[in-house]
C-alpha cells in the first residue's frame, strides 16, 4: 500500500520543517508550503489525503482557501485539519466555523496528537468517505444545506459510551452529561443518559431533574419487553438537555436493593430505544460495572493533572488491560476545566504509556456555575474553548464508533 500523502501549509518555516521531519519519520509522503497560493498548487499537483494548515495565513482568506480546496475534485476528499496557535475562544470558534475536519491547538505535546489524528484522517480520506465534516455549534440539523455536515445516522440502534475515572472529583459526571447533550442536539442523535454511579447517583443534580425514573425502579421490572415499554414511556427529558434521562440511586440503602443480574438487562433495554446510551459509572470498578465496560463501544477514562489521580488512573488502565480491554476502546480525557495545577499533558502520557486524546481547557468557576444552574456548558457558554473542545471530542468518538460499526474497508 502506498504511503499517505500529507500537505503542510503554515507561514512559519520552522513549523513546516519540524512537521515535515515528524511525518516523514512516520512514513508519510510530505509536501510543505509557507503560503496559501503555494499550498493550493501543491494540493492540485499531489492530491493529498490530509491537509494541515494554520488559519492565520494572510495571502488568501482562510474561508476562501477552504472553499477552493473543497470544491476542486482533486482534493475534495482530503481531510483538512487546523493546527494553530490561536488562543482566543472567539477566534477558535470562527476558525472551526469555517469547516475544518478537526481543530488542534499548538501546545506542548500537540505534535504527537496531530500525527495520530492525521493518520486516522488519512485512512478515512483513502476509504472514500464523504467530504469534510463541517464543525460548528451554529449548525441546523433540519437545514438541507447542513444535513451533510452531521455524521451519518447510525445504521442500527444501541451503542454505548461509558464514562469512568480512577478517582473522584475529576468532573466525570459533568463531562458525560455535557457530551451526551452535544451528541443529541448538535449531532441530532437519539440519546439516553444513564446514571449507574453507586451507591448514590450524581447526574440528577447536574441536569436538574430530581423526579426522574431511576435504575432501582427500572430493575424491578422482570420482563424485557415490559422494561423497554416502561423506559420508552416514562423516561424524562430534562429541560435544555435534549436527551432521555435515567437517574441513579437516591440513597445507599436504595442501591443495596438492585440485583446485579438486572444491570445488563437495563443497558440492553436502553440500547433498544436509543442511538446512543451515555453511561456514567463514576469511579466504580466492580462486578456490576465490569461487564458494562467490556461490552461498551467506547470507554471515556477521565482524569485530572494531579499525580495521585494519574497514578490511580494508571492502576485502572492496567486492570482494564488485564480484562482484555485494548487502547482502541479507551478515550483518555484530561479535565483541566476545574484546575490548572499539576503535571502537564506530556508527563501524564509518559506515566500512562498512551496518548491522551483530549485535554479540556481551563474554565475556572464557569464550569461549576453551569452545573449549579443545571445548564449545558454549550448553552451557557457557547463560545468558550471548553465547549469547542467537548464538541470536537464528541464528534470524534461518534465517528470512531460508526467507522467500526460500518466496517470500513481501506484500499
Task: Tell me if 132 is assigned to some domain.
Answer: no
Q: Is it the case that residue 56 has pLDDT exceeding 50? A: yes
Query: Same domain, yes or no, for 121 and 185?
Result: no
Query: Same domain, yes or no, for 89 and 220?
Result: no
| End-to-end alpha carbon distance in the chain | 8
Average pLDDT of span 270-286: 89
Average pLDDT of span 202-224: 88
Average pLDDT of span 110-136: 71
What pLDDT was estimated at residue 243? 95
Query: Same domain, yes or no, for 288 and 364?
Result: yes
What pLDDT was estimated at residue 50? 95
- Report d(CA 137, CA 186) in Å as an integer: 7
Within 185-251, strands assigned E span 191-195, 244-246
Question: Which of 127, 160, 195 is the last residue in one of the domains?
Answer: 127
> Which is more confidently placed, 97 or 387?
387
CB atoms inside a 10 Å sphere around CB 174: 24
- Report d(CA 350, CA 307) in Å as an integer: 12
Integer CA distances (angstroms), 9 to 56, 129, 206, in order: 10, 23, 43
CB atoms inside a 10 Å sphere around CB 407: 6
Q: Tell me if 117 sits within 8 A of 357, measured CB to CB.
A: no
Is residue 179 very low, low, confident or very high in pLDDT (cuts 50, 70, 90)?
very high
Average pLDDT of span 4-26: 93
Q: Is it the case that residue 155 has pLDDT exceeding 90? A: no
What pLDDT was estimated at residue 113? 86
Q: DSSP alpha helices (H): ranges in 26-88?
A: 36-46, 62-71
Q: What residues contact residue 217 under an 8 Å CB cut-off, 6+ apart?
A: none
Packed helices 36-46 and 62-71: angle between N→C axes, nearest 10 degrees: 10
What pLDDT was estimated at residue 153? 44
Q: Is it the case that residue 130 has pLDDT exceeding 50? A: no
What pLDDT was estimated at residue 343? 87
Query: Same domain, yes or no, for 190 and 81?
Result: no
What pLDDT was estimated at residue 299? 96
What pLDDT was estimated at residue 159? 94
Q: Which residues does residue 163 pair with via DSSP β-bridges, in sequence order?
A: 280, 300
Query: Same domain, yes or no, for 205 and 292?
Result: yes
Q: Is it the case that residue 143 has pLDDT exceeding 70? A: no
**Share of residues in the chain with pLDDT > 90 (%):** 39
Task: Tell me if 345 is assigned to some domain.
Answer: yes
What pLDDT was estimated at residue 64? 87
Query: Same domain, yes or no, for 122 and 154?
Result: no
Question: Which of 68, 95, 127 is the last residue in one of the domains?
Answer: 127
CB atoms inside a 10 Å sphere around CB 77: 18
Integer CA distances (angstroms), 32 to 12, 28, 43, 66, in order: 11, 12, 10, 17
What pLDDT was estimated at residue 292? 86
Q: Tell me if 42 sits within 8 A of 33, measured CB to CB.
A: yes
Task: Tell me if 98 is assigned to some domain.
Answer: yes
- Report d(CA 120, CA 122) in Å as an integer: 5
Q: What is the dihedral of CA 43, 46, 52, 58, to 10 degrees?
A: -30
Is residue 272 very low, low, confident or very high in pLDDT (cuts 50, 70, 90)?
very high
**Share of residues in the chain with pLDDT > 70 (%):** 86
What pLDDT was estimated at residue 257? 80
* All three cell numbers of 313: 488512573
Query: Same domain, yes or no, for 220 and 295?
Result: yes
Average pLDDT of span 56-82: 86
Q: Which of 273, 276, 291 lies closest to 213 in space, CA to CA?
A: 273
Q: Which of 361, 294, 344, 334 lies closest to 89 in space, CA to CA?
A: 361
Q: Is it the case that residue 127 has pLDDT exceeding 60? A: yes
Task: Tell me if 25 is assigned to some domain.
Answer: yes
What pLDDT was estimated at residue 2? 61
Task: Tell me if 411 is assigned to some domain.
Answer: no
Q: Is it the case that residue 276 has pLDDT exceeding 70? A: yes
Average pLDDT, the chain: 83
pTM of whole model > 0.75?
A: no
Domain count, the chain: 2
Residue 183: give the domain boundaries: 149-405
Is residue 387 very low, low, confident or very high in pLDDT (cuts 50, 70, 90)?
confident
Query: Same domain, yes or no, for 23 and 88?
Result: yes
The residue behind cell 460508526 is 402
Average pLDDT of span 38-50: 91
Question: Which of 77, 96, 127 is the last residue in one of the domains?
Answer: 127
Q: Is it the case that residue 154 has pLDDT exceeding 50? A: no
* All three cell numbers of 156: 442500527
Task: Tell me if 76 is assigned to some domain.
Answer: yes
Task: Tell me if 134 is assigned to some domain.
Answer: no
pLDDT tens digits for range 82-115: 898 776 666 676 777 777 888 888 877 788 889 9
> Which is more confidently placed, 380 or 222?
380
Query: Same domain, yes or no, for 184 and 73?
Result: no
Query: Same domain, yes or no, for 400 and 258?
Result: yes
The residue behind cell 489524528 is 117
* All three cell numbers of 44: 492540485
Query: Same domain, yes or no, for 196 and 119?
Result: no
Task: Tell me if 140 is assigned to some domain.
Answer: no
CATH number at residue 46: 3.40.50.2300
What pLDDT was estimated at residue 149? 37
Is residue 264 very low, low, confident or very high in pLDDT (cuts 50, 70, 90)?
confident
Query: Same domain, yes or no, for 23 and 116?
Result: yes
Average pLDDT of span 166-194: 92
Q: Which of 87, 164, 83 lies closest to 117 in space, CA to CA?
A: 83
pLDDT tens digits for range 321-365: 998 898 889 999 998 765 667 888 889 999 999 988 888 887 767
| DSSP-derived secondary structure for 122-191 | HHHHHHTPPSPPP--TT--TT-TTTGGGSPPPPSSS-EEEEEEESSSSS-HHHHHHHHHHHHHHTS---E
Amino acid at each position: 500500500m502506498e504511503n499517505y500523502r500529507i500537505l503542510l501549509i503554515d507561514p512559519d518555516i520552522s513549523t513546516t520543517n519540524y512537521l515535515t521531519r515528524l511525518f516523514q519519520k512516520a512514513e508519510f509522503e510530505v509536501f510543505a508550503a509557507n503560503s496559501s497560493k503555494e499550498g493550493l498548487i501543491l494540493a492540485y499537483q499531489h492530491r493529498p489525503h490530509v491537509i494541515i494548515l494554520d488559519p492565520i495565513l494572510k495571502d488568501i482568506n482562510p474561508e476562501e482557501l477552504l472553499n477552493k480546496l473543497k470544491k476542486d475534485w482533486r482534493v475534495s476528499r482530503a481531510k483538512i485539519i487546523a493546527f494553530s496557535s490561536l488562543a482566543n475562544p472567539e477566534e477558535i470558534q470562527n476558525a472551526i466555523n469555517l469547516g475544518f475536519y478537526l481543530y488542534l491547538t499548538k501546545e506542548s505535546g500537540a505534535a504527537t496528537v496531530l500525527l495520530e489524528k492525521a493518520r486516522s484522517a488519512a485512512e478515512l480520506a483513502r476509504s472514500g468517505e464523504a467530504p469534510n465534516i463541517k464543525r460548528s455549534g451554529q449548525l441546523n440539523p433540519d437545514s438541507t444545506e447542513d444535513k451533510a455536515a452531521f455524521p451519518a445516522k447510525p445504521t442500527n440502534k444501541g451503542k454505548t459510551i461509558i464514562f469512568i475515572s480512577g478517582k473522584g472529583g475529576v468532573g466525570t459526571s459533568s463531562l458525560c452529561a455535557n457530551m451526551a447533550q452535544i451528541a443529541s442536539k448538535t449531532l441530532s442523535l437519539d440519546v439516553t443518559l444513564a446514571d449507574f454511579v453507586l451507591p448514590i447517583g450524581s447526574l440528577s443534580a447536574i441536569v436538574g431533574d430530581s423526579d426522574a425514573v431511576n435504575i432501582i425502579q427500572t430493575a424491578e421490572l422482570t420482563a424485557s419487553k415490559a422494561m423497554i415499554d416502561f423506559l420508552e414511556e416514562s423516561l424524562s427529558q430534562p429541560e435544555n438537555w435534549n436527551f432521555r434521562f435515567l437517574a441513579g440511586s437516591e440513597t445507599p440503602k436504595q442501591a443495596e436493593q438492585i440485583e446485579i443480574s438486572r444491570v445488563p438487562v437495563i443497558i440492553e433495554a436502553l440500547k433498544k430505544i436509543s442511538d446512543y446510551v451515555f453511561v456514567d459509572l463514576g469511579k466504580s470498578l466492580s462486578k456490576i460495572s465490569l461487564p458494562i465496560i467490556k461490552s461498551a463501544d467506547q470507554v471515556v477514562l477521565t482524569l485530572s493533572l494531579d499525580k495521585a489521580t494519574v497514578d490511580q488512573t494508571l492502576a485502572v488502565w492496567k486492570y482494564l488491560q488485564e480484562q482484555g480491554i485494548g487502547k482502541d476502546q479507551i478515550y483518555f480525557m484530561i479535565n483541566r476545566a476545574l484546575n490548572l495545577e499539576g503535571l502537564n499533558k506530556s508527563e501524564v502520557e509518559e506515566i500512562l504509556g498512551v496518548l491522551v486524546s483530549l485535554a479540556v481547557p481551563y474554565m475556572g468557576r464557569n464550569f461549576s456555575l453551569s452545573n449549579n444552574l443545571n445548564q449545558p456548558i454549550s448553552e451557557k457558554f457557547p463560545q468558550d474553548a471548553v465547549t469547542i473542545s467537548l464538541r470536537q471530542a464528541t464528534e470524534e468518538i461518534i465517528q470512531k464508533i460508526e467507522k467500526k460499526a460500518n466496517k470500513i474497508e481501506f484500499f
